[in-house]
Homo-oligomer: A and B are copies of this chain.
Amino acid sequence: MYKIRTNRGEVFEGKDESLLQILQNHSVYVPASCGGKGSCGRCKIKILEGKVKSTSFFGISENEKSEGFVLACQSFPQSDIFIELPHQLITVSERIALANEKIIEKIFKTIELNPLVKRVNLKIQPPDIDSQADFERLKQAAGKDLSISRKLACQLSDFLRQNNWHVSLAITDDEIIDFVSDSKKIYGVAVDIGTTTVALALVDLEEGRIVDVATCYNSQINYGDDVITRIVYAEEKPEGLNILRKCIVDDINALLNTVSMRNKEGRIYYVTLSGNTTMCHLFWGINPKYIRQEPYIPTLNHYPVWRVSDARLSADSQIPVYTIPSVAGYVGGDIVAGVLASGLYENEELSLFIDIGTNGEIVVGNRDFLVTASTSAGPCFEGSGISCGMRATEGAVEVFRYQRENDSFEFKVIGNVPPRGICGSGMIDILSELFMSGVVDQKGKLIVDKSKHIKFKVQPPYGDSTARNPAGDSTALRAIQGSGFKEEDEEIRFVISSDCYITQSDIDNIIRAKAAIYAGISTLLEELGIQEKELKKVYIAGGFGEFLDVKKAVKIGMLPNLAEERFVFLGNTSLTGAILCLLSRQLRETAEEIAKKMTYIDLSRSKRFMDEYVSALFLPHTDWERFKELS
């Protein structure tokens, strides 16, 4: 056995297995869309110390090779080694930040589990000379008409005989999806295709339980941060559409391979998909160009249930893929999923739902009506377009506090490791605290008094606590020496650590994002003649959902000035909604109804929106009245 140490401090043991296999054995997510065959070139890691034997360097440049990069799937340790994992690697512990299991648990206390694929155990009549064909007797035993794919039909007769006419099948309402071994669990996969982040949940359909989760960046990011840039790329570049399609399909396949390798006790029989309209079009290879051209019409909102083979996913070709329906070009299935997860659609009280991702989509309504609009927040809260931005994953500053009494800052890092970047909630905290402490003015400009010494409360060394609840416990907060203001590349940086700082243009980006969100909310409410205070609940979804400090978001004028208890954090409701659809045929029907019921209002043509946006570019707003009762 050799020891494999990582730059994140983990130590694994392994021998005779590839590095990829060893890492995956220990739940370290490594992108490998080819499943470890050495043909995708994505599982690059850097060997810092020790020896490995590599059988292929596919996709690794000479330069990278000289720096020590190898393909994890093609490399085998020959000694103890020390490796550097790529930044985007995340561990399974991140699952707590993704789908909201509490919502799922709560919902299935009142409604029955009724998954899209079920196991049925059949006792089929053995044939005699007067018998019907095998498939006809199977349908008789099932008590209903069922379809079957050609591929399965080819295996049917042997399967029935080998199992002595007692068989388990995975079936939908009207189709046999696969033969099932008794000992195997029935899994489904829910996928959230975000513009910036892709998240996948492996779900046990019989237990109604999330088994595993994996996420990665949407590698379309290399072709543009927001949907508009991607649409332009798909439309104008040769092969642009295919390139973007391949990106997202490869990303999902990498996640699928990861969760499949980690969970071999079951098989996948259904896939549900949630994403904004453009992401869904790109995933299916449908050119989204007309979404960008007035009147912004998608090719389709309600998708037929296509197959894994149509999708090019790494799973059995006949597996159905359900796409949660969209509402309009800029309000997609992710929002329908969110409304489903929030329960807003069935409540009497008037509520607002907002999903803060690369787009900020807003829904106002109750069980009688649903109105929706979209505003472009940009990807900054998901960690893109900000110097040290990152997702809410290990190494991200997620909480940041200004201590008025001693004029110092404290912060908390996810995973209790040295800070590597700043996630969305950290950005809102930092902006709010810099503003409240006077370092940033009302126009969002850094006022740097270089003579001013900013102190940090330091709490070394780094423990291995995985607790992420920032409530109260200031000893969990930490700081690093060498922080403060620095001038580099002709720009003032507020530095937390060498890997982690924020610049003036980062602050400008964050302010534009919060202004777009607030302007979207206020314009939509005004269009509907609704006062902010009439909103009984504000449901917030998005990558940072669970850790967002609402008070601070209100302080910078991103959210309406309501009592804290009216805000409900839901986490990634796009993924949660996709899981709900997987677990309940009724909820899938409800998703279809929500999509049909929702009325879309286009803010992009609204003069009121532009006025609101310009006013919201201030901290918190030009109209101080709206935020005056703020504590």
Contact = CB atoms under 8 A, between A and B. Distances in A.
Nearest to A601: B130
A135 B287 contact: no
Contact of A136 (B153, B286, B295, B300): B300
B306 A129 contact: no
B287 A157 contact: yes
B134 A300 contact: yes
A171 to B, nearest CB: 14
Interface in A298-337: 298-304, 306, 310, 326
Given A150-B285, A161-B290, 14 more contacts: A128-B295, A129-B295, A129-B605, A131-B297, A133-B298, A133-B299, A134-B297, A134-B298, A136-B301, A154-B286, A156-B300, A157-B287, A157-B297, A158-B287
Contacts of A153: 284, 286, 299-300, 303-304
Contacts of A287: 154, 157-158
Interface string A356-386: 0000000000000000000000000000000
Contacts of A294: 129
A299 B127 contact: no
A135 B302 contact: yes
Nearest to A136: B301
Contacts of A154: 284-287, 299
Contacts of A285: 150, 154
A296 interface: yes
The 7 closest A-B pairs by CB, nearest first: A135-B300, A133-B301, A150-B310, A127-B297, A129-B295, A133-B298, A147-B304
A142 to B, nearest CB: 14
Contacts of A306: 149-150
B150 A295 contact: no
A602 interface: yes
Number of chain A interface residues as a range: 35 or more
A437 interface: no
22 contacts: A129-B295, A129-B296, A129-B602, A130-B600, A133-B302, A133-B326, A134-B290, A134-B297, A134-B299, A135-B299, A135-B300, A136-B302, A148-B300, A148-B304, A150-B285, A153-B284, A153-B286, A153-B300, A154-B285, A156-B300, A157-B289, A161-B290
A153 B285 CA distance: 9
A259 B103 CA distance: 59
A127 B161 CA distance: 56
Contacts of A326: 133
A132 interface: yes
A548 to B, nearest CB: 33
Interface of chain A, main secondary structure? loop
Given A157-B290, A285-B154, A290-B157, A300 B133 contact: yes
Contacts of A605: 129
Interface string A110-144: 00000000000000000111111111100000000
Interface in A272-290: 284-287, 289-290
Which of A149, A302, A304, A602 is packed against the most chain B CB atoms within 10 Å?
Answer: A304
A300 B133 CA distance: 5
A331 to B, nearest CB: 12
A127 B153 CA distance: 44
A595 to B, nearest CB: 10
A129 B296 CA distance: 7
A166 to B, nearest CB: 17
A299 B150 contact: no
A75 to B, nearest CB: 38
Contact of A156 (B130, B147, B299, B602): B299
A127 B287 CA distance: 17
Contacts of A148: 300, 304
Interface string A397-436: 0000000000000000000000000000000000000000
Nearest to A302: B136
Contacts of A302: 133, 135-136
